[in-house]
Amino acid sequence: MINLEISQRHEETFTQVMMLAEHMMRPYSRKYDKAEHTYPAEMEEVNKLISAGRTSATGKPKGSLPEGSVVNGGNMGSVIGLFGLCWGDVGLFLGMPGSGLGNAAITAVGTPEQIKKYGGRYAAMCITEPSTGSDSANISTTAVLDGDDWVLNGEKIYVTDGDRCDTLVVWATLDKSLGKAAIKSFIVEKGTPGCEVTRLEHKMGIRASDTAAISFSDCRIPKENILGSADIATDAEGRKKAFGGVMQTFDNTRPPVAAMAVGVARAALDMARDLLREEGIEVCFDKKPTNSGAIEAELAQLEAEWQAGRLLVLKAAWMADNKMPNSKEASMCKAKAARVGNHITLRCVALCQSLGYSEQHLLEKFARDSKIIDIFEGTQQIQQLIVARRLLEKSSSELK
């Protein structure tokens, strides 16, 4: 049974991460927001400190566990750590070495050998293409087996940390005519001939991280660099099945992305409450909203929305740690947390008026950074569609 109180060791993790966020991330927030595409070298030290404590903080509890025990392990530790890191700065977190979403893909579907070789690398995820937005099934990048190599051709855009990473996880199709069933993911090491970063995007938010376009032109990678099986699965009737192997990646990455929204929303709420307190306005939770002023009542409502998003994230992570299918819950937490995260940051800007809109404080930056969280790793509309399919027990072809 899920416990809504996080464990002591995860509380300790959160406390330590919040200290790093406040003292080693926030001081550089404005600097790297203005110096877009500049590598935040200071974050290497933050990453070292986080990596040093990651095993003890996020691994499984020591000792053997009796059957039926509840596990709060790596997934729970990851989202709790992200609550703190993205309270510090979303862009700086994304610009840290080793924060690439491709690592989650390798962990989700990689072989033990692949995880050993690439698990500690800085891996970015390459999915989106110029003609393919939210419909990941429409991938056009091709992978053709030629002897002992896969040959990749195509273009990927909006690759977070695509320039700084050392490894790419690339979605490609083995046969475009077979649709989703033929889509697989491949590990490509940066520097491989035929793999080239063609441009960096200028963005509204998360400016401390790079967002790249990458082309693949007869890019040859070893045969063993496919994630999962190269076989195109079929159901009992011989029909081609959907790309469940690569989509499993999203079940791993959506809760952490939702946790990013929870973190930046918390940052906006904390800063807004501090600024408003200086003006004599403070939310009092033991009063009914009808007995509060308009601003106090709205702050209370925003706090409730924030808590709902946070609890959905914790549930999805808990299910993953306890080996429960969490595809629906992963999409639910991404949809809720990302939407309310963007709403909360924007309302905090509005409630603080000129102080919220100016660069005197970081509120306006929190609002800019929050928007991308509602877009990448599947838009709001895509998440709602996935949840609807799960609830109604409809396939993607039955409910579009």
For the domain that residue 305 is a member of, what is the CATH number?
A: 1.20.140.10
Classify the C-alpha dihedral 185-186-191-194 as positive or negative. negative
Q: Quick check: is 400 in a domain?
A: no
Name the residue range of residue 175's domain: 121-227
Q: What amino acid positions are annotated as catalytic residues?
A: 377
DSSP-derived 3-state class of residue 376? coil
Q: Quick check: is 217 in a domain?
A: yes
The per-residue pLDDT for 328 is 94
101 and 59 in one domain? yes
pLDDT (tens, 9 = 90+) of the chain, 400 residues, equals 667 678 888 899 899 999 999 999 999 999 999 999 898 999 888 888 887 665 443 344 444 445 555 677 888 998 999 999 999 999 999 988 777 788 878 887 889 999 999 988 889 999 999 987 666 678 999 999 999 999 999 999 999 999 999 999 999 999 988 888 889 999 999 999 999 999 999 999 999 999 999 999 999 999 999 998 888 765 544 445 555 555 666 777 899 999 999 999 999 999 999 999 998 888 888 777 777 889 999 999 999 999 999 999 999 999 988 889 999 999 999 999 999 999 999 999 999 999 999 999 999 999 999 999 999 888 889 899 999 999 999 987 788 7
252 and 368 in one domain? yes
The per-residue pLDDT for 55 is 45
Q: Quick check: is 237 in a domain?
A: no
pTM for this entry: 0.88
Helix 74-88 to helix 8-20 angle (10° resolution) is 30
Rounded to whole angstroms, the Cα distance separating 305 from 309 reads 6
Which of 106, 140, 166 delimits the end of a domain? 106
Nearest of 306, 129, 286 to residue 215 by alpha carbon? 129
DSSP symbol at 60: P
The answer to whether 227 and 184 have CB atoms below 8 angstroms apart is yes
Which of 106, 133, 165 delimits the end of a domain? 106
**Residues whose CB falls within 8 Å of the CB of residue 100, separated by 6 or more in sequence, listed in order:** 122, 123, 124, 125, 160, 161, 165, 167
DSSP-derived 3-state class of residue 75? helix
Q: Quick check: is 238 in a domain?
A: no
The per-residue pLDDT for 62 is 42
62 and 202 in one domain? no
129 and 96 in one domain? no
Cα–Cα separations (whole angstroms), residue 273 to 218, 257, 266: 55, 25, 11
366 and 258 in one domain? yes
The total number of structural domains that make up the chain? 3
Helix (H) or strand (E) holding 105: helix 102-109
The per-residue pLDDT for 286 is 79
The per-residue pLDDT for 243 is 54
Cα–Cα separations (whole angstroms), residue 339 to 302, 333, 345: 12, 10, 10
163 and 89 in one domain? no
The answer to whether 370 and 342 have CB atoms below 8 angstroms apart is yes
